[in-house]
A and B are shown apart, each in its own frame.
Chain A
């Protein structure tokens, strides 16, 4: 069980006493790459250059081993049954929760497992929806919405942090409003102060944009929400994997992120909610494992987080995600963030050198995530992606689940290279060099 023991030396030692770890270099990254078998293959006759971690990241061996070890040695249903395997599975499952909680600065009971970040947001939206129907009693009234209430999102949201709120507005009669995006891909904070007003009950926004790489000023937005007593939901899918994130320091009410974007498996996501809020929320999915007493007419529910975890849970995924968190913690999120910031600036600087290629989002010198979405004048993103794939370079093409943002920036689709701790500067340079060949191949003069 030692491999599942919660809290490592990293979190036990106060930051001030730790020696400053040396920044990552390409040599460290080469060592890191050895832990990722999938990276060592040829694609279309070229070494794979994986620049699509913004969509899904790759798994280190330790993550796959944790999952395999679970299935080989302790596979059992959690929170039910008294046999040894069931106890061990439950302990490992809960130790994983503790580890993920510590990773983002939350209390253990403030972490709810979901299938993915999308489900985490839907859990909130349907819980609030149920509260609006009167479920959850007087305590849940703080989550109920109706005509005259406003939900505020931003124009840069991933569809996962937009459509659930559109639907919640439709179900409850609330109005959906949004904070516009400026030409440079950042939020229009002057408008934000107008949009977030006395009717705002809920503010949902992304910590970091999966398209523009913009990192939003959480403190400023939270302050606007607090002024009017609105709840804050943070989409941290693009930040928890890449930056040190402390949900308590950010003072958000809820945050969501997904396992597969942070070296973990697919099929698991995380909802963080402040304990006092989760305690008052009615459940979304109902059924087994989330109740105390049941009769033929009604049921009483467990306290969070179990109240929100109906049915057999994603046990192996949670345990594997904890192994991913270990991997990231051992590497050091400060170092990961600094390395990716360097890759991000290299991407931005390189793109600026290529005639006819437009960067979406903030330019050189502005803090951004380690990704770059670009528009190649006269060449559709799908064709750009095909050309890069032919050279073994995997990027994302399309609207990246952010149609309104693309429309705002005047494009229908873009090509996105997104880095992670296992990408080298050489890979970024190869991407840039290949990107420069795209327009000539398609006969477009920049």
Chain B
């Protein structure tokens, strides 16, 4: 595989098109009210990649300790779109603690400039972003949805 194919693995290109979790977001206040009624905490985060203007709004719903729902809207490059799609698949249903641990693992791998082999056992499909870590300019693209997830968690917990 060429470096470029490593970067744009088939699974990434597929997710960039499939965009799991991408929806037209309802107003946040409605979602929060709906969540309140069913015992869910709901929060969202809007993140912008200032390099290219890519943006994402990611909404998280939690029950006492589980990520019950993840939806997002946004636009951007194939890396950021695939990352949001894979994040949705990977983190939905995980406990908050496990999701955070996975996020830390993902970030560490991405920042390693290719030095850390992605652990497929831990990361699942997100391991496909291993190639991205060799492209420092693209790490932000892959991280964008994950940063949004992290910020939304903090938002949820501050209430």
Contact B8 A399 (CB under 8 A): no
Contact B3 A443 (CB under 8 A): no
Interface string of B105-128 (1 = CB under 8 A from A): 000000000000000000000000
Contact A390 B76 (CB under 8 A): no
Which A residues between 374 and 402 are near B, CB-CB below 8 angstroms? Answer: 379-383, 386-387, 390, 397-399
Q: How far is the CA of A441 from the CA of B52 in the complex (A)?
A: 21
Q: How far is the CA of A43 from the CA of B95 in the complex (A)?
A: 44
Shortest distance from the beta carbon of B138 to any chain A beta carbon, whole Å: 7
Say if the beta carbon of A412 comes within 8 Å of chain B: yes
Q: Report chain A residues within 8 Å CB of B54.
A: 380, 382, 412-413
Closest chain A residue, CB of each to CB of B51: A398
Q: Report chain B residues within 8 Å CB of A390.
A: 2-4
Q: Report chain A residues within 8 Å CB of B51.
A: 398
Contact B13 A442 (CB under 8 A): yes
Contact A380 B53 (CB under 8 A): no
Say if the beta carbon of A403 comes within 8 Å of chain B: yes
Contact B75 A412 (CB under 8 A): yes
Contact A398 B4 (CB under 8 A): no
Shortest distance from the beta carbon of A374 to any chain B beta carbon, whole Å: 15
Q: How far is the CA of A425 from the CA of B96 in the complex (A)?
A: 56
Q: How far is the CA of A442 from the CA of B77 in the complex (A)?
A: 11
Q: How far is the CA of A403 from the CA of B55 in the complex (A)?
A: 14
Q: Pick the contact of B138 from A386, A406, A441 — CB < 8 Å?
A: A386
Contact A382 B141 (CB under 8 A): yes
Give the total of A residues in contact with B, Cβ under 8 Å. 19
Say if the beta carbon of B152 comes within 8 Å of chain A: no
Q: Pick the contact of A382 from B4, B13, B77 — CB < 8 Å?
A: B77
Which B residues between 73 and 101 are near A, CB-CB below 8 angstroms? Answer: 75-79, 81
Say if the beta carbon of B7 comes within 8 Å of chain A: yes
Q: Report chain B residues within 8 Å CB of A406.
A: 53
Q: Pick the contact of B52 from A44, A379, A387, A398 — CB < 8 Å?
A: A398
Contact A386 B4 (CB under 8 A): yes
Which A residues between 388 and 441 are near B, CB-CB below 8 angstroms? Answer: 390, 397-399, 403, 406, 412-413, 441
Shortest distance from the beta carbon of A173 to any chain B beta carbon, whole Å: 30
Q: Report chain A residues within 8 Å CB of B4.
A: 386-387, 390, 441
Q: Report chain A residues within 8 Å CB of B75.
A: 412
Q: How far is the CA of A53 from the CA of B83 in the complex (A)?
A: 32
Contact A381 B52 (CB under 8 A): yes
Interface string of B1-38 (1 = CB under 8 A from A): 01110011000010001000000000000000000000
Contact B53 A403 (CB under 8 A): yes
Q: How far is the CA of A426 from the CA of B13 in the complex (A)?
A: 31
Q: Range of interface residues on chain B?
A: 20 to 34
Which A residues between 359 and 386 are near B, CB-CB below 8 angstroms? Answer: 379-383, 386
Shortest distance from the beta carbon of B22 to any chain A beta carbon, whole Å: 15
Q: Report chain B residues within 8 Å CB of A383.
A: 8, 77-79
Q: Report chain B residues within 8 Å CB of A413.
A: 52-54
Q: Report chain A residues within 8 Å CB of B53.
A: 398-399, 403, 406, 412-413
Q: Report chain A residues within 8 Å CB of B13.
A: 442-443
Q: How far is the CA of A403 from the CA of B48 in the complex (A)?
A: 13
Q: Report chain B residues within 8 Å CB of A381.
A: 52, 77
Contact B3 A382 (CB under 8 A): no
Q: Report chain B residues within 8 Å CB of A442.
A: 8, 13, 78
Q: Report chain A residues within 8 Å CB of B52.
A: 380-382, 397-399, 413
Contact B8 A44 (CB under 8 A): no
Q: How far is the CA of A380 from the CA of B8 in the complex (A)?
A: 13
Closest chain B residue, CB of each to CB of A412: B53
Contact B7 A380 (CB under 8 A): no
Shortest distance from the beta carbon of B110 to any chain A beta carbon, whole Å: 16
Q: Report chain A residues within 8 Å CB of B79.
A: 382-383
Shortest distance from the beta carbon of B135 to any chain A beta carbon, whole Å: 7
Q: How far is the CA of A412 from the CA of B7 in the complex (A)?
A: 23
Q: How far is the CA of A386 from the CA of B12 in the complex (A)?
A: 15
Contact B76 A380 (CB under 8 A): yes
Q: How far is the CA of A387 from the CA of B138 in the complex (A)?
A: 12
Interface string of A85-129 (1 = CB under 8 A from B): 000000000000000000000000000000000000000000000
Closest chain B residue, CB of each to CB of A444: B17
Contact B78 A380 (CB under 8 A): yes
From known contacts A397-B52, A398-B53, A412-B53, infer whether A386 and B76 are also in contact, taking CB-CB under 8 Å. Answer: no
Shortest distance from the beta carbon of A73 to any chain B beta carbon, whole Å: 39
Q: Report chain A residues within 8 Å CB of B17.
A: 443
Q: How far is the CA of A442 from the CA of B15 in the complex (A)?
A: 12
Q: Pick the contact of B7 from A386, A397, A399, A443 — CB < 8 Å?
A: A386
From known contacts A397-B52, A399-B52, infer whether A380 and B3 are also in contact, taking CB-CB under 8 Å. Answer: no
A sample of 17 cross-chain residue pairs with beta-carbon separation below 8 angstroms, ordered by A number, consists of A379-B78, A380-B76, A380-B81, A381-B52, A382-B54, A382-B77, A382-B79, A383-B77, A383-B79, A386-B4, A386-B7, A398-B52, A399-B53, A406-B53, A413-B52, A413-B53, A441-B4
Other A-B contacts than A379-B78, A380-B52, A441-B8, 14 sampled, CB-CB below 8 A, are A380-B77, A380-B78, A380-B81, A382-B54, A382-B76, A382-B138, A383-B77, A386-B4, A387-B4, A390-B2, A398-B51, A406-B53, A412-B53, A441-B4
Query: 8 tightest CB-CB pairs across the interface, nearest first?
Result: A380-B77, A382-B77, A390-B4, A398-B52, A383-B77, A399-B53, A383-B78, A382-B52
Listed in ascending order, the chain B residues whose CB lies under 8 Å from chain A are: 2-4, 7-8, 13, 17, 51-54, 75-79, 81, 135, 138, 141
